[in-house]
Structure 1
Amino acid sequence: MNPEFNDHPTPGNLVNIITFNVTDTKSLAGGIVPWVNILRANEEILNLADADEIVIPEHDIAISIDYPLQHPETFHLYSSIGFSRKLLLIEIREKFLELSDQENESFKGHNVDLVALDIYKTATGKIEITLDIDA
């Protein structure tokens, strides 16, 4: 972990919550599903509302994953244009797959529905993100 993102005991001030809405194409009634299944993200990105909207204009962020891991993990991302819902979802999914391989653990038995991202700004101005996963 990069120490400049971990120089404080609390995540900082909550500055935003990013939600994910997906058009339901599997039921006859249609409608909107207010979450994205991380393991099916490749399929759900196609129906993700406001997928290309830049929701985090900052260029350097840290994302923390705790559920369903036994050992929480933080990873860092950089983008010269900021981060869209689509880019964030792709990166989070890739990290979940990587962690699954590293820990010889499959998340298929877990309900990994991403409801929202909680965006915090630290006292030093860094952006830290936690995942709101519906278990």
Structure 2
Amino acid sequence: MATTENENQLPKNLKNIITFNVTATNSVDGGIIPWVNIGKANEDILNLLDADEIVIPEHEITVSIDHPLATPTSFNLYSSIGFSRKLLLIEIREKFLALSQIADESFDISGLDLVALDVYQTNAGKIEIILDIDF
């Protein structure tokens, strides 16, 4: 884990911003919502636009979560085909579900909206994702 933390501290270059757009099912005009609610991500995945598009072609990434955690954390993800919006959303939701069960953390997962993922490449060539979360 110490190695990952040290790699995350290297200078980073913004490579991409991944957005999440969901077709609104409860509106009259079927508009677009520009975020995904992490608490109801399973429902939002069904209406997620471009869900299966590979948005990160790399096979290994690090996801950093700081907000709304008392203690920031990061975790690694691996995929032989890269990462789609759907896969990223599933993995992030699972991590938040696990984190919400930790006694030191107190947040309501249903109040967290994932607006975007900021994709950085470190000087070592590693891909790091930082979450843009509203609550």
TM-score of the two chains, using structure 1 as the length reference: 0.92
SS in 2 for 1:99: helix
Query: Would the aligned equivalents of 1:11 and 1:128 in 2 still touch at CA under 8 Å?
Result: no
Query: Would the aligned equivalents of 2:13 and 2:121 in 1 still touch at CA under 8 Å?
Result: yes
**1:116 alignment partner in structure 2:** 116
Label 1:109 to 1:74 Cα distance change in 2 as closer, same or farther (>3 A).
closer
Label 1:73 to 1:109 Cα distance change in 2 as closer, same or farther (>3 A).
closer
Label 1:98 to 1:109 Cα distance change in 2 as closer, same or farther (>3 A).
closer
Question: Residue 77 in 1 paired to residue 77 in 2?
Answer: yes
Query: Would the aligned equivalents of 2:96 and 2:109 in 1 still touch at CA under 8 Å?
Result: no
Give 1:28 shift: 1.5
SS in 2 for 1:6: helix
Identical-residue share of aligned pairs (%): 67
Q: Which runs of 4+ in 1 moved over 4 A?
A: none
Give 1:126 shift: 0.2
Give 1:11 shift: 5.1
Query: Would the aligned equivalents of 2:114 and 2:132 in 1 still touch at CA under 8 Å?
Result: yes
Query: Would the aligned equivalents of 1:5 and 1:126 in 2 still touch at CA under 8 Å?
Result: no
Compare 51-60 and 4-13 and name the one that shifted more. 4-13
Label 1:116 to 1:11 Cα distance change in 2 as closer, same or farther (>3 A).
farther
Q: Alpha carbon RMSD of aligned pairs, Å? A: 1.8
Gaps of 5+ in 1: none
Query: Would the aligned equivalents of 1:5 and 1:62 in 2 still touch at CA under 8 Å?
Result: no
**Paired residue type of 1:27:** S
Matched positions, count: 135
Query: Would the aligned equivalents of 2:70 and 2:104 in 1 still touch at CA under 8 Å?
Result: no
**1:107 alignment partner in structure 2:** 107
